[in-house]
Structure 1
Amino acid sequence: MTEIKASLARGLTARHIRFMALGSAIGTGLFYGSSAAIQAAGPAVLFAYMIGGAAVFIVMRAMGEMAVKHPVSGSFAHYASRYLGRFAGFVTGWTFTFEMAIVAIADVTAFGIYMGFWFPQVPQWIWVSVVVLLIAAINLMQVKVFGETEFWLAVIKVSAIIAMIAGGALLIIFGFSAPGAQTATGWDTLMASGTLFPNGFTGLLVSFAVVMFAFGGIETIGITAGEADDPSRSVPAAINTVPWRILLFYVASLAVVMMLFDWRQIDGSASPFVQIFDALGLPAAAHVLNAVVITAAVSAINADTFGAGRMLFAMAQAGHAPKSFGRVSRTGVPWMTVVVMAVVLLVGVVLNALLPEALFMIIASVATFATVWVWIMILASYLGMRRSERGLGASVKGSAYAVPGGTAAVWATLGFMALVVVLLALSPETRIALYAGAGWLVLLALCYRFVDRGAAEKKFAEAS
């Protein structure tokens, strides 16, 4: 296979990367998917987000340590190939691309639902078509344009969440409640069912399927290493913000939501944030928040498209994907991968036309499987790196950006990720993810056996 000489243009600053992390972490999973998590676990969902957030932080630190040592585009697929073998890199890269595609379809689905709050008579698929064309246009521009767009979209939603938390806290302090509410806002509303675990411990476990989906795509930070001006500083700076970001934007915002409004009335017909302020008799606030969640959805789709495109570019350079994915425009953008992602998102248009009601939960559960699988491969690659370094006499104490808790924390996180995969089997709605995931891995194994490995053997023979 002919070596691909094309390269990506560097243009992402620490500011861009930090807010890209926000764009990945704060999107559909929080603004829409949280309704399904709340229905499953009730107030106990706050514990689920804290536990899931801690696990994701270890994944991010493991990826960050590898990215600081080896800043490359498509980073974790490269690390999997380097420390676990070529097949592992092939599976990791394509599964991440699959994850981004599925998450993006979920995001465009949520975008259509949000627009339905204002235009209930307009078919959902029309709005999905509009946002797909918009995202394709943004991603075909210079990477700096993409970074600036993502930065300002993230600023809008972060500012709105902070304002919502502050405003909600004032409503709770002054005892404002929804018309006809049976309990006062605050702790009494949160505990309206009489317990933090209204659906038992099982409800908490089931909620992890949606909770982990909410964090999906945050590993895109690692993808930016190939286009960052100074990856050794910008990537760790972005990763280190994960803990407080999760506590503030997920735990604090959902705690305020469930203290303002009886969580049992959250039905998923709109974003729970919009539904609650609408029910409180504050339609202006509901409309403002709907505009914000639309912005958040666009931001998330933007980040998903970027991540998938850059991974496909790196896969093409490694010989894991067609050479055409390695072509870049004069501005250093892998244009072919953007076109492919636009086509994939257009599949979302068709699915929204056929399954407008049931689509989100199905896609979210499949995305959770792909997301958790990628995280497992990141953790396994980290353990492979540590094993390799020990063989060379290196010490983790010498690393400038080591994982807190070292390999013990990584092994514990691997156990948790395996548990999440098992939990997908508990609900009929999420069980389809296991079937889809197993089918996907079998398909990848066949592709590697007959396509990728054959190409690698041919390349080796030509080199000989």
Structure 2
Amino acid sequence: MDQDQNDSLQRNLSNRHIQLIAIGGCIGTGLFLGSGSTIQLAGPSIIFIYMLIGIVVFLVMRALGELLLSNLNYKSFVDFVSELLGPFAGFLLGWSYWLCWVVVGIADLVAISGYTHMFYPNLPSWVPALVCIFLFYTLNCLTVKLFGEMEFWFAIIKVIAICVLIIVGGTFVAVSFKASSGEVASLSNIFNGGNLLPNGFRGFLAGFQSATFAFIGVELIGTVAAESKNPFKNLPKAINNIPLRIIMFYVLSVMVIMAVIPWHSIDPNKSPFIVLFLFAGLPAAAAVVYVVVLTSAASSTNSGIFSSSRMLYGLASLDKAPRFFMQLSKSSVPVNGLLFSCVCLLSAVVLLAVGDKSIIDTFTLVASVATIITLFTWFLIVYSYIQYRKKYPERHKASTFKMPGGVFTCWVCIVFIFLIILTLTLQPNTRIGLYLGVIWFAFLGGSYLLIPQSVKKRWKVLLNSTISTNKY
């Protein structure tokens, strides 16, 4: 795009930014905070849950990658969904994904407030949330490259923390470490005497909800694509590394945790990453992990603020949101969308100030809403791929980054996504989140019906001018 700097988003994110943003997206607050409740629900079968979800996530990202690289004028997945599935699908996805990141931001701010209590127990829980919103708004106003730098270092901290946990936990197992409670670290703890489904098949299914939330953010790579240098090189590399990252960050880490701490001894209301070091009698190390968990939540909040502002920019460029959100600063940052998203995040401050639920209950409820929208996003990505194969067979043939298994694996992903949605009915908190998600989609559907036909026709004209390309 040869537009003036202030008229379009700029490709200022380098390869190292894209790779670490992809890694950071694979390591969310759901892993650090939510894995305790998932282990309690599923027991040792959590290993298989993470592997199954990881395979589907990888396939969804491969579909996303081929679609984005088929036309570099796609600024995000909203563009190709709008073109391939129609304006209603694009409208529904754009506003839902914006809400998803606002909701994820609220969940992360709740987590940040909960963990801040360790260091400042008398501090009102809403104060850390307010400080974070102001801080990240200020930093994101400066330049997209600064966002890339922040996420680069946030991701490095998370990677180091998980590597240390795996090394320390592996050492405990190797020396058969015995805790003060009498529990001995051993690989046999993982397999639970051969009973991999201690809470039955229902418990196994219930574990999918919180496990899915842990993967929210991996599709962020599709949002930053419009601001990436050399996407043909960086995007495939980031996506192809996802399986290795899932094995290391999810599978190995929970295996180490359950080898050191028997699954039934893990408190669902606490981060197992912190509990592991407390269990081993290392409170100083646990305090360090507290900081790492705070960093993870801060990173996710930062990503949410970035992603939601870009989604509003994309919607406004297609006239599906007020043109007000298209205004860019001198450094090509969509400042009005940024401000609006941060104002919406202030609801976390209100929730923490007046809410009477525990931190983990509030986190689970909010996470359920985000999970519904994320599953909806994944569904539209793979269904768009099916339509892309019908509409643009020549683009698929010319693609150097093809979706493995093509249309067949897309249908497998769709079936899996709907099965995960069904698991949300198994727990009271997640059922409420499911109902709230349905209300949101009904609200958007009603809003769409009120939009004049003349506006909807203009959407198509704007979309065609935005994504028109002579590439193929």
Distance in 1 between the 2:454 and 2:348 partners?
33
SS at structure 1 position matched to 2:118: helix
Instruction: Quote the residue 1:200 is aligned against.
Output: 200
Instruction: Quote the residue 1:371 is aligned against.
Output: 374
1:179: Cα distance to partner? 0.7
The TM-score normalised by the length of structure 2 is 0.92
Q: Percent identity over the alignment?
A: 39
Instruction: Quote the residue 1:387 is aligned against.
Output: 390
Instruction: Quote the residue 2:23 is aligned against.
Output: 22
1:72–1:225 contact (8 Å) kept in structure 2 = no
2:70–2:395 contact (8 Å) kept in structure 1 = no
Instruction: Quote the residue 2:273 is aligned against.
Output: 273
Instruction: Quote the residue 2:119 is aligned against.
Output: 118
1:453: Cα distance to partner? 4.6
* Pair 1:179-2:177 in alignment: no
Distance in 2 between the 1:177 and 1:194 partners?
22
The residue type paired with residue 113 of structure 1 is: G
Instruction: Quote the residue 2:406 is aligned against.
Output: 406
* Pair 1:310-2:313 in alignment: no
Distance in 2 between the 1:105 and 1:264 partners?
29
1:72: Cα distance to partner? 4.1
2:87–2:460 contact (8 Å) kept in structure 1 = no
Distance in 2 between the 1:226 and 1:156 partners?
26
* Pair 1:157-2:158 in alignment: yes
The residue type paired with residue 336 of structure 1 is: N
Deviates more, 1:29-38 or 1:17-26: 17-26
Aligned residues: 455
Distance in 2 between the 1:172 and 1:460 partners?
60
Distance in 2 between the 1:459 and 1:397 partners?
29
The residue type paired with residue 420 of structure 1 is: I
1:104: Cα distance to partner? 1.1
Instruction: Quote the residue 2:7 is aligned against.
Output: 6
In structure 2, do the counterparts of structure 1 residues 445 and 18 end up closer, same or farther at CA, with 3 Å as the change threshold? same
1:459: Cα distance to partner? 7.4
Instruction: Quote the residue 2:79 is aligned against.
Output: 78
Deviates more, 1:36-45 or 1:264-273: 264-273
In structure 2, do the counterparts of structure 1 residues 125 and 395 end up closer, same or farther at CA, with 3 Å as the change threshold? closer
**Pairing of 1:27-106 with structure 2 (within 5 A):** 27-72=28-73, 74-106=75-107
The residue type paired with residue 327 of structure 2 is: R
Deviations 1:339-384 (CA, angstroms, capped at 9, x unpaired): 1121121101111221451211101111110100010010111111
Distance in 1 between the 2:291 and 2:57 partners?
29
* Pair 1:286-2:289 in alignment: no
1:71: Cα distance to partner? 2.5
Distance in 2 between the 1:240 and 1:329 partners?
34
In structure 2, do the counterparts of structure 1 residues 116 and 265 end up closer, same or farther at CA, with 3 Å as the change threshold? farther
Deviations 1:86-136 (CA, angstroms, capped at 9, x unpaired): 111111111111111111111111111121222233232111111111111
1:303: Cα distance to partner? 1.0
Distance in 1 between the 2:460 and 2:18 partners?
37
The residue type paired with residue 138 of structure 2 is: A
Deviates more, 1:408-417 or 1:425-434: 425-434
SS at structure 2 position matched to 1:329: coil
Distance in 2 between the 1:202 and 1:414 partners?
21
1:451: Cα distance to partner? 2.8
**Pairing of 1:413-452 with structure 2 (within 5 A):** 413-451=413-451
Distance in 2 between the 1:144 and 1:73 partners?
20
In structure 2, do the counterparts of structure 1 residues 165 and 413 end up closer, same or farther at CA, with 3 Å as the change threshold? same
SS at structure 1 position matched to 2:229: coil
SS at structure 2 position matched to 1:219: helix
Gaps of 5+ in 1: none
The residue type paired with residue 123 of structure 2 is: V
